[in-house]
Amino acid sequence: MRALVTRGKPGLELIELPEPETPAGHVKVRVLRAGICGTDLHIDGWDAWAQSAVTPGLTVGHEFCGEIVEVGEGVTDYAVGQLMSGEGHVVCGHCRNCRAGRRHLCIHTSNLGVQRDGCFAEHVVLPATNVWVHPGLTAATATPEQLDVFGIYDPFGNAVHTALKFPVIGEDVLVTGAGPIGLMAAMVARHAGARHIVITDIAEPRLELARSLGFRALNPREESIGAVQRELGMQEGFDVALEMSGSPSALVGIIENLNFGGRIAMLGLPAQPIEVDFAKVVSHMLTIQGIYGREMFETWYAMAAMAQTGLDVSPVITDRFAFADWEAAFERARSGDAGKVVLDFTDLQGA
């Protein structure tokens, strides 16, 4: 099979590899769609983080959907031919958090496409416990647009986990970072009943995409968040903030514009330590909650329910490339001008 691997230096390589075996308790999946994530860009660039976390020779990629083509011994809940998306965090099942049902907090988590071979390949193998099936659909009956969205259920789940960490019904929500996950988080908050939603970013193409989705979006270097609050008729600060950018200045801006008792859900990973005004955090009784991945599988049920009740995140997918054109796809994803970039594997498989 063809697979995209890291060689322990900048750049990835598309090579031929043996098709993987299917161990007991696992399933083999024919990949149909895969999303390019910031993690993949770090590995492609072979930066300091990638050098410390990834073993050369690894197949990269962790956002995908596909068709189950083989089930390992002992797998009884899934069958060949089912259409699925993959949960990319593989947990141990025996640490305290796993045994308590908090699998998203597993202390031994290994990540698809980082610590174990990922989905930028014709086939990927993962534990059956990491399968999310899309009932009533197959690779033949799902539309291309449905497959695109199923291919980004992993980041969609990040958005849902972040946006629903705190109640948002009737609340005013500030979203910092208009990348694909930030935009999906804003869409989730709106679907869940938030009142005013304001999105900030410093990249104009992303702000334009946010505006096209019906959001009030601004560049905080050019426009005051406080002024926008007054424009919207807000009498007090934001109730909930979703920090999706990893920018130190974004968190500072959130704290300055949050109401007393405000709540912050942080998904963005800062590249360096952030200096926080903890006197204000204490005196304003703010809550800061880190978010990583998805709650397994409560987040997935919420995702499915919102999709069934009309939430359509497909507008965040701005670019689609055949897997054979992966280099152009990575270049587009790295440009900062795109929304979500999706790879289509059907050109390899004749599907």
Q: How far apart are CA 20 and CA 124, in angstroms?
A: 7
Contact 118, 36 (CB under 8 A): no
Q: H or E stretch including 190?
A: helix 180-191
Q: How far apart are CA 168 and CA 165, in angstroms?
A: 9
Give the other-Cβ count within 10 Å of 179's Cβ: 23
Contact 158, 62 (CB under 8 A): no
Catalytic residue among 6, 22, 39, 109: 39
User: What are the E-state strand segments in 7-120?
Assistant: 12-16, 26-35, 63-71, 83-86, 89-90, 110-111
Q: Is 39 a catalytic residue?
A: yes
Catalytic residue among 6, 22, 26, 42: 42
State which amino acid sits at residue 3.
Answer: A
Label residue 1 exposed, middle or buried (CB < 10 Å: 0-12, 13-18, 19+): middle
Q: DSSP states of 272-340 as a string?
A: S-----HHHHHHTT-EEEE--S--TTHHHHHHHHHHHTT---GGGEEEEEEGGGHHHHHHHHHTSS-SE
For residue 163, the SS3 value is helix
The residues that bridge with 35 in the sheet, in sequence order, are 63, 342
Q: Is 346 a catalytic residue?
A: no
Residues 6+ apart with CB under 8 A from 186: 163, 173, 175, 197, 199, 210, 213, 215, 242
Tell me how many degrees the CA angle 248-253-256 measures, rounded to the nearest 5. Answer: 135
For residue 230, the SS3 value is helix
Two structure tokens written together for 89: 């965090």
The candidate with the shortest Cα–Cα distance to 253, out of 204, 203, 195, 201, is 201
Specify the DSSP class assigned to residue 236.
S
Residues known to be catalytic: 39, 42
